[in-house]
Structures are given as C-alpha cells and as structure tokens.
Amino acid sequence: MFATPLRQPSSMSQSQKERSEMDGQDKPYQYEITDHGYGKDAVKVLHVSRKGPVHNIQEFEVGTHLKLYSKKDYYQGNNSDIVATDSQKNTVYLLAKKHGIESPEKFALLLAKHFINRYSHVEEAHVHVEAYPWQRVCQEETKAGTNGQATSQGSCNFSSIDNRSLHNHAFIFTPTAQHYSDVVVRRTDPKQTVISGIKGLRVLKTTQSSFVNFVNDEFRSLPDQYDRIFSTVVDCSWEYSDTENVDFSRAWQTVKNIILRNFAGDPQVGVSSPSVQHTLYLSERQVLDVLPQVSVISMTMPNKHYFNFDTKPFQKIAPGDNNEVFIPVDKPHGTIYAQLARKNINAHL
C-alpha cells in the first residue's frame, strides 16, 4: 500500500508548460485531470550477497509509480512518453543486480532517482518497498546429539541477535513486524521525501494497563478498568528531514525497540499504562528525542480486546472468580492514533 504524500503544485519550465498544454488539445474544456500516474506493483525480488562463506539476503516487494508531465496518453491515447510498467519491473531486477540491496529506503531512493535522471519527461517517481522479515537460523538449532536427535541447545531467542551463534547461509522467516519504506522524488523539489514504517507489530501484556475516569453519561456501559489486558497491532511511519549518513536499518530497529520499551517496560517490573493514548505519545516523543533526523512520526494502535469470561453462572463447575480465561474479540475495536511533529516542519505523512 502506497503512502500518499501531500501533492505540491508543480513548477514547470516553459518548455514543459508548453508540452503540457499541447497534449491536452482534445480535452473537454470543462474537465481537467488533477492527479494521475501509473506503475508496477508487487514486484518480488530476492538478492543474495555471497561474500565469502557468510551470505546475506534481502527479499523485497516493490512498487514503482511514475507521474509524467504529459497527459497525452490519457487525452489522446498517445503512448510515446510511457515507460512501460514491464520496463519498470525489469529496472527493479537490473538495479538490484548492478548495485545490490541494503535497505528498503536506500533501494527505493536508488530506483526513484534512476527514473527521474533517466527520463526527462518524468515529473515524479514514487517507490514503495516492503521487506520480508528473514533472520539467520541459530547454529545451535542445527546441531544433533549422538542419537541423531536435536539437542536441547536449540532454544534460541529469535527476538534478539545478541549472544547468538548464527548460521552462515540458512534463514528463518520471523514475521514479528514488517519494515517498509516510501520514497518520492520530484524533479522540481531538491529534497526527496523518505518515509519509513513498521507494520503489523502485535503485542500483548496481561497487567499494568488501566482505563478509568472517562466520560460518564447515559451512553456509557463500560465500567472503569483498573487492570486489564492490553493488546494492539502497531502501525507506525516516520519521515526524515535529513537522510545524509542515516543508517536506515538501525533507525528502524531503534523505533521498534522504543515502541516495545514504552509498551512493556522493564522485564521484571513492567510499566504502567493509563491509556493507549499515553503509551502511544510516549513512544512518539522518545523517537523524536533519540533520532534527530526524524521530523514527524505517526502511529496507530487499535485495541485488540480480551474480555473476561463470566463464570458466575457456572459456580458449580468453576467456583470462584475468573481472571484466567478471556474471550478474544477483534470487532468492533477502538482505534487510537496520533501524529507528533517537530514545530515548523512541513511533512508528507
């Protein structure tokens, strides 16, 4: 899914204005195309870096969209300016071969700049990249005992790469969260738009979440929740004001860790959450504190409810209170979101 940056008025050269006016000779005077574009979506590419015995992989799903100065393909059916979507697909593979793949952001920048520099009639290039979450297999996972059975050493923690012995060329799919990026390069704008994001980060904690003292009127049925299960699926995106010397992969991991830390707190003690709103805000604020290159961050946290199963009518079968069995309820759900920006910053989120 492409992010939708704010559309800025185009400042075209005189020749570009003339070309734009000429391609609309046959357009009905009472109508005007106010936005347009085309591209190739869902281009899947796997890149394997084979430098010695240790291999690295990146698997991406890429979308490339172009906006042309001319609209004659729409008004007149004239395709002479169209860079075919099949050619855009080939470009993804050829640039991956020529330059390699490091991160979604860098690959998206490479593609977008290529289209702008290669084709003078392209006004804007928008590239969306989603990374597939592969991690290295622990070498301990592949060790076997004397009887050919796996040993007990295989209980690796795949949420961290610290203090683990990693396999040189075997990987495991770990869909904890998805890393994606949107890059927009406009010929008339010297600064490109670079957006990074986290999608599908599902978390849950069983205590230290409350929700009390909210509006109490004739429409309210929900009692105060002094201790509840807190679960959400975090979607988060942020825009860079400065992309020079940014380690995009490290920055993405930093944002993810900040979200988890504000949600969970210390492993032994935890952290109190008086509302989803407050937890969301603390995460966004810390990202802006820690990453000065980030100008604005947006986050959505839908409530994934777990309601207590009422055992009161079944005291003969299950006597006492119930605080162990819950009913997962996906719909309807509350949705909490906010965007936090540095002051006097124009952003495209």
248-264 helix and 104-118 helix, angle to the nearest 10 degrees: 140
Q: What is the mean pLDDT of residues 124-143?
A: 86
**Rounded-to-integer distance, Cα 316 and Cα 320, Å:** 9
Q: Which of 85, 176, 243, 254 is catalytic?
A: 85
Residues 116-142, mean pLDDT to the nearest whole number: 90
Distance CA 117, CA 262 (A): 43
Helix runs in 272-347, H state only: 276-290
| 348 DSSP 8-state letter | -
Q: Is residue 42 packed enough to be buried (19+ CB in 10 Å), middle (13-18) or exposed (0-12)?
A: exposed
pLDDT tens digit string along 276-324?
999 999 999 999 999 999 999 999 999 999 999 999 999 999 999 999 9
pLDDT (tens digit, 9 = 90+) per residue, 90-102? 999 999 999 999 9
Q: Tokens standing for 83?
A: 């860079």
Reduced to 3 states, what is the DSSP secondary structure of residue 196? strand
Reduced to 3 states (helix: H, G, I; strand: E, B; else coil), residue 273 is strand
Report pLDDT for 330.
Answer: 87
Query: Residue 106 catalytic?
Result: no
- Whether 146 shows a pLDDT value over 90: the answer reads no
Q: What are residue 182's phi and psi, to 5 degrees?
A: -125, 130
Closest listed residue to residue 236, CA positions, set 206, 260, 215:
260
Position 171 pLDDT exceeds 60: yes
Q: Which of 178, 156, 175 is nearest to 236 (CA)?
A: 178
Is there a catalytic annotation at residue 169?
no
- Write the CA distances from 31 to 34, 35, 77, 271, integer angstroms: 9, 12, 17, 57
Number of C-beta neighbours around residue 173 at 10 A? 9
333 is catalytic: no
Taking 80 as the threshold, does the pLDDT of residue 147 lie above it? no
Residue 346 is predicted with a pLDDT of 72
Q: What is the pLDDT of residues 263-273, one digit of tens each?
A: 999 999 999 99
- Residue 349: per-residue pLDDT: 72
pLDDT at res. 34: 93
Average pLDDT in the chain: 89
Q: b/e map of 81-90 (b: 16 or more CB within 10 Å)?
A: bebebeebbe
C-alpha 328/C-alpha 204 separation (Å) is 12
| Residue 6, pLDDT score | 38
Confidence of residue 12 (pLDDT cuts 50, 70, 90): low
Helix ranges (H only) for the chain are 14-22, 72-75, 85-99, 104-118, 248-264, 276-290
pLDDT tier at 26, thresholds 50, 70, 90: low
The pLDDT of 189-212, averaged and rounded, is 96
Instruction: Report the distance separating Cα 221 and Cα 208, nearest Å.
Output: 22
Between 17 and 81, the higher pLDDT residue: 81
> Which position among 40, 65, 67, 106 bears the catalytic label?
40
Which position among 113, 121, 305, 348 bears the catalytic label?
Answer: 305
pLDDT at 327: 97
Query: Do 261 and 285 meet the contact criterion of CB atoms below 8 Å apart?
Result: no
Q: What is the C-alpha to C-alpha distance for residues 48 and 53, in angstroms, rounded to an integer?
A: 12
Among 105-109, 156-160, 217-221, 258-262, name the one with the lowest average pLDDT: 156-160
For residue 154, the model assigns a pLDDT of: 39
Burial class of residue 180 in the structure, from the number of CB atoms within 10 Å of its CB (0-12 exposed, 13-18 middle, 19+ buried): buried
Using an 8 Å Cβ cutoff, are 233 and 302 in contact?
yes
Q: How far apart are CA 229 and CA 207, in angstroms?
A: 6
Q: Determine the Cα–Cα distance for residues 186 and 10; give it in Å rounded to an integer.
A: 9
pLDDT at 140 over 90: no
pLDDT at 201 over 80: yes
pLDDT category of residue 163 using cuts at 50, 70 and 90:
low
- Which is more confident, 209 or 147? 209
